[in-house]
Amino acid sequence: MKVRTDSPRWVTGFVIGANGEFVFGLERAPTAELKVMTDEGIEHAARLLGFDRALGLGVGIVEGLDRVPLVAARRDPLLEETWVVILGHDARGRPEPHAGVVSKPPHREKSGRRIAWVDVPGAPGHPVLTADGSLVAIAIRRGKRRTHVVPLEDVTPFLERVVLGGR
């Protein structure tokens, strides 16, 4: 799905919850109403549930969808040389998958956050999937050849807090 906030530019988002909760990447918290466009080209209003400035990730909820697909999530380590796929959109908004490998497994940055490097183009908020389609990470830094990602298990506390309580 595509998400639009304050700017006219759409960003990539993906559904994580059965009630229409979705994740997307932004540099700063949105101030305007969210819009979501499904792959069928239908636009829906959405609202922000939470934003993590350190990760550059937002969580929203889609209003009024009859059916919402779930992204299968699995807590797996990002091992070196593991094949992954990052899903995004091109400049025209068409789906654009890219495949590559994990070049550096999760390690601690000076900030204390664990990140991994994948040799795949991507942007903040893009889902990172294994070859079998399991969600294992979320992109947090843009890369044309190498994207920095945060393992799913490190984002889970933020997602649970926003989606399950403390809205």
Can you tell me the mean pLDDT for 117-131? 92
Whole-angstrom distance, CA of residue 12 vs CA of residue 5: 12
pLDDT tier, 67 (very low <50, low <70, confident <90, very high otherwise): low
Q: Which residues pair with 117 in a beta bridge?
A: 104, 148
Q: What is the mean pLDDT of the chain?
A: 86
- Lookup: tokens for 109: 């940055």
Strand partners, 112: none
- Classify residue 145 by its DSSP letter: S
* Residue 61 burial by Cβ neighbours in a 10 Å radius (0-12, 13-18, 19+): buried
Q: Which helix (H) or strand (E) holds 162?
A: helix 152-164
For the cut 80, the answer to whether the pLDDT of residue 75 exceeds it is no
Question: Are the beta carbons of 121 and 145 closer than 8 angstroms?
Answer: yes
Better-predicted residue by pLDDT, 70 or 31: 31
pLDDT score of 63 more than 60? yes
What pLDDT score was predicted for residue 69? 59
Confidence grade of residue 167 (pLDDT, cut at 50, 70, 90): very low
Out of 39-43, 47-51, 143-147, which region has the weakest mean confidence (pLDDT)? 39-43
**Percent of the chain predicted with pLDDT > 70:** 92
Count of positions (residues) in the chain = 167
Q: Which has more pLDDT, 141 or 65?
A: 141
Of 84, 65, 78, 69, the closest CA to residue 127 belongs to 84
| pLDDT mean over 104-132 | 91
Q: How far is residue 120's CA from residue 35's CA, in Å, rounded to a whole number?
A: 27
Largest Cα separation within the chain, whole Å, is 44
